[in-house]
Amino acid sequence: QVQVVESGGGEVQAGGSLRLSCTASGLTFSRYAMGWFRQAPGKEREFIAAISRGSSSTLYAESVKGRFTISRDNAKNMVYLQMNSLKPEDTAVYYCAAGSIATRTNAYDYWGQGTQVTVSS
């Protein structure tokens, strides 16, 4: 049974930082690209960042480029999202997913339940 679990969400003031973590079990972690998405109330789920199986390639949404960094540790079955210079518009539920490196939600096979990030002004 595959499980994807995010952690590290919370509330932070604008300009602050958070680091999200995600662990995946029940699959061969190193065979999957990993992605982060987010969904704000009343909006569609949107792509944030993705990283290839061996960390050689990364993708970022324009809205977070230069502020967010995705990384992974295959030895620990972990993927991270370092978020700096946070803005109120970054407020959303953040989801971690395992699949193929892409910006499309349907490229990912397994999803976590999400972790809330709230950025106050």
Residues 2 and 24: beta-carbon distance below 8 Å: yes
State which amino acid sits at residue 59: L
Tens of pLDDT along 96-112? Answer: 999 999 999 999 999 99
Q: Provide the percentage of residues in the chain whose pLDDT is more than 90.
A: 100
In sequence order, which residues have a C-beta less than 8 Å from that of residue 67 and are 6 or more positions away? 83, 84, 85, 86
The 10s digit of each residue's pLDDT in 22-69 is 999 999 999 999 999 999 999 999 999 999 999 999 999 999 999 999
